[in-house]
A and B are shown apart, each in its own frame.
Chain A
Amino acid sequence: MSSNKKYWKSVEELNENSSIVETLQQNEFVEEIPTDEFLGDKETLESSSTTRRDFLKYVGFSTAAASLAACEGPVIKSIPYVNQPKEIIPGVANYYATTIANGFDFASVLVKTREGRPIKIENNNLAKANGHANARVNASVLGLYDSLRVKNAKKGGEDISWSVFNSETKKALNDASASGKDIVLLTQTFASPSTSKLIEEFSNNYANVRHVQYDAISESAALDAFQAKYGKRALANYDFSKAMTIISIGADFLGDWQGGGFDAGYASKRVPDHGKMSRHIQFESNMSLTGANADKRVPLKPSEQKLALAKLYSYITGNSAGGAQLSQPLDAAVRKAAEELRKAGSNGVVVSGIQDVNAQTLVLDINQTLSSKAFDTKTAIHTKQGSDSAVTQLIADLKAGKVGALVMSGVNPMYTLPNASDFAEGLKNTMSIAFSMKEDETASNCNYVAAAPHYLESWGDVEIKTGHFALMQPAIRPLFDTKQFQDALLTWTDNSSTYNDYIKANWKETILNGASYNQALHDGVFVSASSSEVSTDDTDLETPSNNAASALVASAKSGAMELALYTKTGMGDGQQANNPWLQEFPDPITRTSWDNYVTVSKADAESLGLVNENVANGGLNGSKVDVTVNGVTINNVPVIIQPGQAKGSVGLSLGYGRTAGLKEELQTGVNAYPLYQNFNTTQEVSISKASGMHEFACVQLHNTLMGRGDIIKETTLEIFNTKDKHYWNEVPQVSLNHIETPVTSPDVDLWDEFDRSVGHHFNLSIDLNACTGCGACVIACHAENNVPVVGKSEIRRSRDMHWLRIDRYYSHNDTFEGDDNEKDNADGLGLGNYLFGDREGNGSLSTFGRMEDPADNPQVAFQPVMCQHCNHAPCETVCPVAATAHGRQGQNHMAYNRCVGTRYCANNCPYKVRRFNWFLYNQNDEFDYFMNDDLGRMVLNPDVTVRSRGVMEKCSMCIQKTQKTILDAKRDGREIKDGEFQTACSAACGSGAMIFGDVNDKASEVAKLKEDDRMYHLLESVGTKPNVFYQTKVRNTKKA
Chain B
Amino acid sequence: MKKSYQSLEDNSTNNMKHVIYRNLTSKILHLGFILLLTFSTTLLAQEDPEKGKSLFNTNCASCHRLDKKSTGPALRNIEARLADEQGLDRDWIYAWVRNSPAVIKSGDAYANKIYNEYGQTAMTPFPQLSDDDISNILAYTAAPLPPLPEDPCIANPGGPGCDQSKPKEGSNTLILAALALLFALLALALILVKRTLKRFAEAKDIAIEETPKGTSIWKAFVQNQFLVLVTAIFFLLASGYFVYGYLMQVGVDQGYEPVQPIHFSHRIHAGDNGVDCKYCHSSARVSKTSGIPSLNVCMNCHKSISEVAPETLAEGETYGVDYNLEIQKLYKAAGWDDTEQEYTGDASPVKWIRIHNLPDFAYFNHSQHVTVGGIECQTCHGPVEEMEIMRQDAPLTMGWCINCHRETNVKVKDNPYYTKIHEQLSKKYGVEQLTAAQMGGLECGKCHY
Contact = CB atoms under 8 A, between A and B. Distances in A.
Interface of A: 71, 73, 75-84, 89-92, 755, 757-759, 883, 885, 887-889, 891, 893-898, 943-946, 956, 959-960, 963, 966-967, 969-976
Contact of B283 (A75, A89, A946, A971): A89
Contacts of B359: 897
A876 to B, nearest CB: 11
B233 interface: no
Contacts of B365: 967
A73 B249 CA distance: 12
Contacts of B372: 967, 970-971
B82 to A, nearest CB: 37
Contact of B353 (A75, A89, A889): A75
B281 to A, nearest CB: 11
Given A889-B440, A897-B361, A755 B354 contact: no
B417 A976 contact: yes
B296 A76 contact: no
Contact of B443 (A73, A885, A946): A885
Nearest to B256: A73
A898 B253 CA distance: 21
A1007 to B, nearest CB: 15
Chain A CB count within 10 A is highest, among B296, B333, B417, B419, for B417
Interface of B: 250-251, 253, 258, 283, 286-289, 291-297, 333-335, 347-354, 357, 359-363, 365-368, 371-372, 414-421, 424-425, 428, 440, 443-446, 448-449
The 8 lowest CB-CB distance pairs between A and B, nearest first, are A893-B445, A91-B287, A84-B294, A81-B294, A91-B289, A78-B354, A91-B288, A895-B444
- By DSSP majority rule, is chain B's interface helix, strand, loop, or mixed? loop
Contacts of A889: 440
B417 A82 contact: no
8 contacts: A81-B295, A82-B295, A90-B289, A92-B283, A894-B448, A895-B361, A970-B368, A974-B416
A963 B446 contact: yes
A475 to B, nearest CB: 19
A967 B443 contact: no
A90 B297 CA distance: 15
A76 B353 contact: yes
Chain B CB count within 10 A is highest, among A755, A898, A959, A966, for A959
B443 A945 contact: no
Contacts of A92: 283, 286-287
A79 B350 contact: yes
B180 to A, nearest CB: 35
B253 A971 contact: no
A91 B353 contact: no
A970 B289 CA distance: 17
Contacts of A888: 440, 443
A80 B348 CA distance: 11
B351 A79 contact: yes
A57 B347 CA distance: 49
A543 to B, nearest CB: 61
Given A89-B287, A963-B446, A83 B294 contact: yes
A80 B417 contact: no
A11 B419 CA distance: 87
A75 B355 CA distance: 9
A893 B448 CA distance: 8
B294 A80 contact: yes
A973 B415 contact: yes
Contact of B354 (A76, A945, A967): A76
Contact of A893 (B362, B417, B443): B443
A71 B250 contact: yes
A82 B419 CA distance: 42
B416 A973 contact: yes
Nearest to B443: A887
Nearest to B289: A91
B295 A898 contact: no
A135 to B, nearest CB: 24
A320 to B, nearest CB: 66
Given A73-B251, A967-B367, A973-B414, A82 B444 contact: no
B291 A970 contact: no
Contact of A971 (B334, B353, B371): B371
Chain A CB count within 10 A is highest, among B297, B357, B444, for B444
Given A81-B295, A84-B296, A967 B368 contact: yes
B360 A91 contact: no
Given A80-B292, A891-B445, A893-B444, 10 more contacts: A76-B353, A80-B294, A82-B333, A896-B448, A897-B361, A898-B448, A944-B449, A963-B446, A963-B449, A967-B372
B269 to A, nearest CB: 16
A963 B363 CA distance: 11
Chain A CB count within 10 A is highest, among B293, B372, B425, for B372
Given A76-B357, A967-B365, A967-B368, A82 B448 contact: no
A39 B353 CA distance: 52
B423 to A, nearest CB: 10
A801 to B, nearest CB: 16
A898 B372 CA distance: 28
Contacts of B367: 967, 971
Contact of A80 (B293, B444, B445): B293
Contacts of A974: 416-417
A896 B361 contact: yes
A896 B360 CA distance: 11
A49 B252 CA distance: 43
Nearest to A889: B440
A457 B289 CA distance: 27
Nearest to A966: B417
Contacts of A758: 421, 424-425, 428
A975 B372 CA distance: 14
Contacts of A76: 353-354, 357
A113 to B, nearest CB: 14
B361 A945 contact: yes
A79 B445 CA distance: 30
A986 B358 CA distance: 31
B253 A73 contact: yes
Nearest to A945: B361
Chain B CB count within 10 A is highest, among A73, A81, A757, A974, for A81
A759 B425 CA distance: 9
Nearest to B253: A73
A984 B293 CA distance: 32
A56 B273 CA distance: 60
Contact of A90 (B283, B334, B361, B424): B283
Contacts of B446: 887, 963
Given A887-B443, A897-B359, A80 B258 contact: no
A347 B362 CA distance: 55
A631 to B, nearest CB: 57
Chain B CB count within 10 A is highest, among A91, A883, A889, A956, for A91
A92 B283 CA distance: 9
Contacts of B443: 885, 887-888, 893
Nearest to B411: A970
Chain B CB count within 10 A is highest, among A75, A92, A963, A970, for A970
A956 B350 CA distance: 38
B421 A759 contact: yes
Nearest to A81: B294
B352 A77 contact: yes
A258 to B, nearest CB: 41
A757 B289 CA distance: 33
A52 B354 CA distance: 44
A980 to B, nearest CB: 12
A77 B351 contact: yes
Contacts of A971: 286, 367, 371-372
Contacts of A78: 292, 351-354
Contacts of B253: 73
B349 A81 contact: yes
B283 A945 contact: no
Contacts of A893: 443-445, 448-449
A885 B440 CA distance: 13
